[in-house]
Structures are given as structure tokens and as C-alpha cells.
């Protein structure tokens, strides 16, 4: 717990920079999927403020699947994996990237595409596998334009035998190494603490709880994300 007086709220920054819990989070160092809701945490309280850094996401991401229903199992699986290889080959020309993973993402390449498992598709003699198509949100590219690029790419990959690729999930976003923005999030929290300390006057200070928590992430718009650390401000009399 840290107390911030009228002129010393900036001292919060020193405490925020020393956060071994956040640095130990593998998710915070990789590329993470950002859903429309805040990610779950064991002791998260919806009443905690979420002052943080709003920025454009790094990627727009859409889930796709390749399904096949050729009766012969060996041929069916060969068609599905051959179509994955075709998608990997076509991705650079279309300006998209392929990845897999549920929370943290890894690039899908010719070296690892066989790691994608095939699952039953609800019908006899049918299987499918799923992965992700993503587009960098750099320059003027926004999520809407990225969606159009992904849809065009999916349609451009020709079926192999009876294997067919389709979009299966709505567009979401991803951020690379959210912990790298810890300092910027700390700046926002310190500014909020200074403003609160100024409002309550010289006879009171502000205590901040939860500064050791890792960086969290939430979607904040069509192309934007909010990076934040849930914390709690408590106004207390100065001694």
C-alpha cells in the first residue's frame, strides 16, 4: 500500500517499476489475445478503477478452420494439411500472418503446422482443425480494413480435394508483450493519483492498493486496447 500526498503522488512510479510479479508472467512477454471483456483474475474487483494506456492493438485476429469430409481417413487428413501448407505459402503475398494458440500466440509455419491437431466435425468421416489469421494494425490499417483483407485471403486459398477453409470466429485483437507498456501505465496511474491528491486538499492523502499486479488488457474500441493495472484509491487523513 502506498500513500500519496498533495505534492508527492509521483513517488508511485518507483514502486510501479519494481514489479517482479508482472515480469514473471509469460503472457505479458508474448503476444496475447485481447477479448471484448477484461481477462479474468482471481481477485479482480469490477469496482477497481482501470486507469491505463489506450493504444492501437498490434494485430487484428480472426479464427478460421479447415474442414474435410473425404471418406478415406488418410486422404482426408492429407488434404487438410496440404491446404494448411497452401495457406502458409499464400499468406505473405496477401499481407497476412498465420498463428495458433488460445491466449498467447505462436507463428504457424511450415516447421510446426503438423502440431495442429485434427478433431471430429460432428459428422461421420469428417475432421477439422483451427488456427488464426492476423493482420498488423500499422499505419492507416484499422480493424475494419484488416477484416476485409482476412476475408479476401480466406476466399483466395483454393480448396484441396474436399478440404475447405472458412472463418469461424469474430475479429478480435492482439498485443505483443503488454508488459513493455508498464511504465506508460504507471505514468497514467501516477497522474490520476496526483489529480486525486490535489482535489482532496493538503489535509488528506491518497493510498493506492494493488500496484504489484501484472499488466492487464481489455478491448477499448474497434482497433484499440486498454492496458492497465487494477488498483484502488483510498482517501485518508494526513498525519
What is the model's pTM? 0.81
**pLDDT digits 0-9 by tens, 63-83:** 999 999 999 999 999 999 999
Give the chain's residues under pLDDT 70.
Answer: 1-26, 36-50
Q: Is the sign of the CA dihedral 73, 78, 81, 84 positive or negative?
A: negative
In degrees, to the nearest 5, what angle opens at C-alpha 104 toward C-alphas 101 and 43? 125
Report d(CA 153, CA 16) in Å as an integer.
43
pLDDT at 50: 62
Which residues, listed in sequence order, are joined to residue 224 by a DSSP beta bridge? 56
Report d(CA 187, CA 124) in Å as an integer.
57
pLDDT at 202: 87
| CATH code of the region 59-175 | 3.30.70
Is there a contact between 63 and 169 (Cβ–Cβ < 8 Å)?
yes
DSSP string of 78-103?
HHHHHHHHHHHHHHHHHT-EEEE-SS
Per-domain boundaries in the chain: 2-55+177-237, 59-175
Burial grade of 71 (CB within 10 A; 0-12, 13-18, 19 or more):
exposed
Q: Which among 175, 150, 147, 148 has a CA at the least distance from the CA of 58? A: 175
pLDDT at 40: 52
The set of residues, in sequence order, having a beta carbon less than 8 Å from that of 1 and lying 6+ positions away, is: 207, 208, 209
Amino acid at each position: 500500500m502506498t500513500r500519496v500526498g498533495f505534492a508527492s503522488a509521483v513517488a508511485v512510479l518507483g514502486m510501479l517499476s519494481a514489479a517482479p510479479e508482472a515480469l514473471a508472467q509469460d503472457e505479458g512477454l508474448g503476444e496475447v489475445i485481447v477479448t471484448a471483456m477484461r481477462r479474468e483474475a482471481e481477485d479482480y474487483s469490477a469496482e477497481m478503477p482501470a486507469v491505463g494506456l489506450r493504444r492501437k492493438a498490434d494485430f487484428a485476429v480472426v479464427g478460421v478452420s479447415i474442414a474435410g469430409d473425404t471418406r478415406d481417413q488418410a486422404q482426408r487428413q492429407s488434404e487438410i494439411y496440404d491446404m494448411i501448407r497452401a495457406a502458409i505459402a499464400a499468406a505473405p503475398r496477401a499481407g497476412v500472418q498465420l498463428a495458433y494458440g488460445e491466449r498467447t500466440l505462436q507463428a504457424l509455419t511450415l516447421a510446426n503446422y503438423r502440431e495442429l491437431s485434427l478433431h471430429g466435425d460432428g459428422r461421420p468421416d469428417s475432421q477439422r482443425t483451427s488456427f488464426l489469421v492476423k493482420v498488423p494494425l500499422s499505419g492507416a490499417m484499422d480493424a475494419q480494413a484488416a477484416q476485409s483483407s482476412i476475408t479476401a485471403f480466406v476466399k483466395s486459398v483454393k480448396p484441396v480435394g474436399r478440404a475447405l477453409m472458412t472463418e469461424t470466429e469474430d475479429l478480435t485483437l492482439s498485443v505483443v508483450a503488454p508488459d513493455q507498456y508498464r511504465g506508460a501505465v504507471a505514468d497514467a496511474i501516477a497522474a490520476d493519483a496526483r489529480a486525486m491528491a490535489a482535489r482532496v486538499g493538503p489535509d488528506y492523502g491518497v493510498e493506492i492498493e494493488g500496484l504489484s499486479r501484472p499488466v492487464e488488457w481489455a478491448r477499448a474500441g474497434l482497433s484499440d486496447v486498454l492496458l492497465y493495472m487494477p488498483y484502488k484509491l483510498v482517501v485518508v487523513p494526513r498525519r
